[in-house]
Amino acid sequence: MNRISSQPGLVSLDDRRRPEQPPALVLVAHGSRDPRTLNTVHELLDQVRAQRPDLPVHLGHIELNEPLLPDTLASLGTAEAVLVPLLLSRGYHVKRDIPEMAAASAARTRVAAPLGPHPLLVETLHARLIEAGWGTNEETRRTSAVVLASAGSRDPDSAVDTRRTAHLLSDRLGVPVVPAYASAATPTVDTAIRALAARGRDRVAVASYFTAPGLFATQCAAKAPWIASAPLGTHPAMADLILHRYDQVAGRRGATSHELPALAV
Instruction: Tell me the catalytic residues.
Output: 30
Q: What is the 3-state secondary structure (H, E, C) of 199-250?
A: CCCCEEEEEECCCCCCHHHHHHHHCCCCCECCCCCCCHHHHHHHHHHHHHHH
Distance CA 224, CA 207 (A): 9
| C-alpha torsion angle, residues 40, 46, 50, 54 (rounded to 10) | 130
AA letter at 101:
M
Residue-by-residue DSSP string for 129-142: HHHHT----HHHHT
Fill in the amino acid letter for 205: A
Stretch (H or E) spanning 92: helix 92-92
Tell me whether strands 80-85 and 57-61 are parallel, antiparallel or unpaired. unpaired
| CA end-to-end distance (rounded Å), the chain | 50
17 touches 48 (CB < 8 A): no
Report the sign of the C-alpha dihedral through residues 195, 196, 199, 202, in that order: negative
> Which one, of 77, 84, 66, 64, lies nearest residue 105 by Cα?
77
